[in-house]
Amino acid sequence: MANIVVPELGDSVIEATIIRWTKNEGDAVKIGDTVVELETEKANFEVAAEKNGVLTQIQKKASEDVEVGDVLGVIDESKTAASESVQTEQKPPEEKKEQEQESKQEQTEAKPPEKQREPDEEDTEEGIKVTPVAKNIANQNNVDLKAVTPTGPNNRITKEDVENYIKSRSAAEDKKTKEPSEKEEEKFDPSEFLPSLSQYYSERERREKMSRRRRTIARRMLEAQQTAAILTTFNEVDMSSVMELRKRRKDAFKEKHGVSLGLSSFFVKATIGALKAFPQINAEIQEDEIVFKNYYDIGIAIGAPEGLVVPVIREADRKSFAGIEQEVRDLAKKSDEGSLTMDELMGGTFTITNGGVFGSMLSTPILNPPQVGILGLHKIEERPVVVDGDIVISPMMYVALSYDHRIVDGREAVQFLVKIKELIEDPENLLIEG
C-alpha cells in the first residue's frame, strides 16, 4: 500500500483545498499520473502518483481543507484495474453466503411489528361504546365522552378519538388565551412574516463556498487594514510624451524584441527611480526595526479569474524595457492558465496595480503586507489642461500612492508621486533615473 499525501506547498504555506480528483476509486494509476489537484492561497498544485497500482481509497473529498502531510488516498500496488473488477464481480462463495444471510437478517429486522389489536370495546353506563384504553385516557384528562365523536367500528370511541379531542380542546384554549381583549389594541408582529420572507429570499439566492485563494485574499486585505496606518495621496500625469514615444517606436520595438511596448515598463522604471529617491517606501517593518531593501522586486497585481494574484518581477532595476514587457506578458499568461509557481508569487518590495485596464478613473489601492507602498494606475482620459498659458487637450492619468504612515510621512509620499510624474512626463530621464 502507498499513501497519497499532501506534499510541501512552499514557504509558509501549510494548508490547501482539494479542487478535484482526476482519478476515481478503482482506477489504475501509473507513476507520474496526476491523481488530485490542490489549491493554495498562492497557486494550484497537481499531486502525482508515486507508485503503480489501483486507487483503492479516497480519504479526502473535493472542497475539503487539508494540511501538509495529510493522507489523501491509498494506492494498492498489488492490484490492477482488471483484477479489481474481477474481484468485485466474482466474490468467494463463503462471502456471498454471508452477504445473503446478512441481507435476510436485515429484512427480518426491518419488518415492522404487527399493530397490536385494541382490546374489545366496553359500554359505559350511558350506553356509549368505548374501548378500555380510550376510557382510561378520557378519565385521566377529564374528558366528557359525550363530547367525543366516535370513528371506530359500530360507532365506538377509540383511543385516537380521545387523543384528537384533547388536542383540539388544547388548541382552542390556547387561541382563546392569545386573543386580545376588547380594550387592547392588536399589535403588528413582524415575526409572523419572517418564515415566508426567509423562503422568498432563499429561493432567489445562491450559496458558494469561498475558494482557498479568495479566503486568503479576504484575510490579507483585512490584515492590511488592521495592522498598517494606511493613507493615500494622489496626483495626475500627462501621458502625452509616453504616448508619442510609443507611437514612434512601437513597430521597431516589436520587430526587434518580439513584444509590444506597453505602459508597464515605463511605470516600473519610473517607480524604481522614485524608490531610489525615497528608500523608506521600499522598506518594511519588522517588530521595532525598519528593514531597508537595496533591491527592487516589483509586484504586478493581476486580476485572475480565481482571484487577485501579485507575481513578482525580480531585480527589475537590472531589466530592460523589453525584458520587463516580456516578463509582464508571461506572468499574465500564467495567471490566466493558473500555472504561476510559488517562487513567482513570493516576496516583492513594492507593488503596482492598474485599475485603468478595467476603466477605473480613481481608487485607493490597499497595501500588500508587509510592503509599505503600492502605486495605483488608472484610465487615461483626454482632458483640457493648461500648458504654458494655453488650454490644450492632453491624455491624462490619475495616479495614487497608498502608504503605511508608520514609516512613510506625507511629505515623502507626495514627493514620491511628483517624482513618478516627472519621469513619465519626460521619459528620456528614465534612462538615467530608472
Instruction: List, in sequence order, every beta strand (DSSP E) within 271-347.
Output: 283-286, 289-292, 298-300, 302-304, 307-309, 312-313
Q: How far apart are CA 357 and CA 300, in angstroms?
A: 13
Residue 345 to residue 157: CA distance in whole angstroms: 80
Among the listed residues 336, 343, 405, 426, the single catalytic one is 405
Distances (CA, A) of 114 to 7, 117, 160, 303, 415: 58, 9, 18, 67, 90
- As a whole number of Å, the end-to-end CA separation of the chain is 58
Burial class of residue 61, CB neighbours in 10 A (0-12, 13-18, 19+):
exposed
Scan for cell 494574484, then name that residue.
Answer: 309
d(CA 7, CA 44): 12
Q: DSSP character for 429?
A: G
Find the Cα–Cα–Cα–Cα dihedral 11, 15, 16, 21, rounded to 10°: 110
Run of H or E residues at 337: helix 321-337
Residue 365: C-alpha distances to residues 231, 351, 378 (Å): 10, 10, 11
Amino acid at 81: A
Active site (annotated) includes residue 378: no
Q: Cα dihedral sign for 331, 336, 341, 345?
A: positive
Q: What is the DSSP letter of 172?
A: H
Contact partners, residue 104, CB within 8 Å, separation at least 6 = none
- The one-letter amino acid code at 236 reads E
In one letter, which amino acid is 177? Answer: T
Q: Write the burial class of residue 368 (CB in 10 Å: 0-12 exposed, 13-18 middle, 19+ buried).
A: buried
Among all residues, which ones are annotated catalytic?
405, 409
